[in-house]
Chain A
């Protein structure tokens, strides 16, 4: 069990980490890479606060060990905005509808929504609800979040 260096990309930037392979991707992002946009909620795959994309698929970063993202493309909430003053249309929609309240679920909601929109499925209310079924909002602002995702899905 010699030390292994894991190489993958985060928001398009190559990273190399010499850390235990069973380190949670969540801890690697927050502690080793100082990307604290991804939040820890329950730490057991129930709440979706730590949702990130691995090779385009939304996952809970608390349930993925670093050894399983070797060679992968990881996307976090930090990668959504195109610049310091340039939020993505999805983020703008969350602001516009009031889809963000206390904010702890927001990064995960955004990433689950990003995966749903990228998938290209018909953005019906039912489909949006299913897409964020793994993300809990303790402010229970679901209606606004669903509105935001529907807004982002409409052609500008």
Chain B
């Protein structure tokens, strides 16, 4: 049987903060990543686990101040898929949630877990980058906000301190902004992505502004591609622009060969996905 490390289940956020302020704990949310690690096949299992599942303070999806969508860290992918607020304001996130695992995973896996697990293939993470999301962390020391762009600092490394919990993810709602999502894996369900991409922009008299292009599974962490964004900023989604952007992104990323795919495939598919998104958005 797998390791069964000691676990504590706090009943309030304050209790969780106290525990985290003492001995180091590995937090468990929906368990879809951590429960695989307790088998010990992927390295040492955690020594001590903090079960977050009862912290209802970390649940709920709501509009904040009318100009942001705040998603509690314990919101499951199923809740995100079914949320009318997400459907209205950030459908790309609902699309991303729908591509993760299948029903069994979507019923347990959480947005906060995806953020903290920090896999380079985390499917929601490019959406957070493209949508300029803020990650709100809490501890005994208080709350602080880290922009998604600064959160993933290296391979499975984050800006979260050991005594902090991710409380919620806040997406600013900007009028006229559109966000797109696409994942390519071996099959539609239950696949870890080979390439995952999110695109965001605002159309201003036919040209694009505030363009964000973010990818997963092509680097040691989820990334934005600033050179490609510069090609699209102030441009219209025409074929010549799409060709230029596709060539740029293929040169800008440095994916690797691994068990799921090859560097060449990832480069080609990234270019193809972006080109197709531009064609669809441009209506040609």
Contacts and interface: CB of A to CB of B under 8 A. Distances in A.
Interface in A61-83: 62-65, 67-68, 70
* Central interface residue in A48, A63, A131, A134, by most chain B CB within 10 Å: A63
Contacts of B190: 46, 133-134
Contacts of B3: 22
A125 interface: no
A59 B108 CA distance: 7
B4 A23 contact: yes
Interface string B175-219: 000000000000011100000000000000000000000000000
A43 interface: yes
Contact of B7 (A22, A112, A132): A22
A45 B35 contact: yes
B189 A64 contact: no
A131 B39 contact: no
A20 interface: yes
B35 A24 contact: yes
Given A20-B7, A67-B9, A133 B35 contact: no
Contacts of A134: 101-105, 189-190
Q: Could you say which interface size class chain A belongs to?
A: 35 or more
A147 to B, nearest CB: 20
Interface string B158-178: 000000000000000000000
A102 B97 CA distance: 32
Contacts of A37: none
Given A63-B108, A134-B189, A45 B103 contact: no
Contacts of A116: 103
Contact of A48 (B8, B104, B188): B104
Contacts of A20: 4, 6-7
A122 interface: no
* Central interface residue in B5, B35, B78, B190, by most chain A CB within 10 Å: B35
Interface residues of B, number: 31
Contact of A59 (B4, B9, B49, B104): B104
B31 interface: yes
Nearest to B4: A20
A98 B43 CA distance: 42
Contacts of B53: 67-68
* Central interface residue in B6, B7, B102, B108, by most chain A CB within 10 Å: B102
B4 A22 contact: yes
A63 B110 CA distance: 13
Contacts of B8: 1
Contacts of B78: 57
Interface of B: 1-9, 28, 30-32, 35-36, 38-39, 49, 51, 53, 78, 101-105, 107-108, 188-190
28 contacts: A1-B6, A1-B7, A21-B51, A22-B3, A22-B4, A22-B5, A22-B6, A23-B1, A24-B35, A43-B2, A45-B36, A45-B101, A45-B104, A45-B105, A51-B104, A57-B78, A58-B103, A58-B104, A63-B105, A65-B51, A67-B51, A115-B103, A131-B103, A132-B102, A133-B102, A134-B101, A134-B189, A135-B102
Interface of A: 1, 4, 20-24, 27, 31, 43-46, 48, 51, 57-60, 62-65, 67-68, 70, 112, 115-116, 130-135
9 nearest CB pairs, A to B: A134-B102, A133-B189, A20-B4, A133-B102, A21-B7, A57-B107, A63-B35, A1-B6, A134-B104
Given A20-B6, A65-B28, 12 more contacts: A1-B7, A4-B9, A27-B2, A46-B190, A57-B78, A60-B104, A64-B35, A67-B51, A68-B31, A112-B104, A130-B189, A133-B189
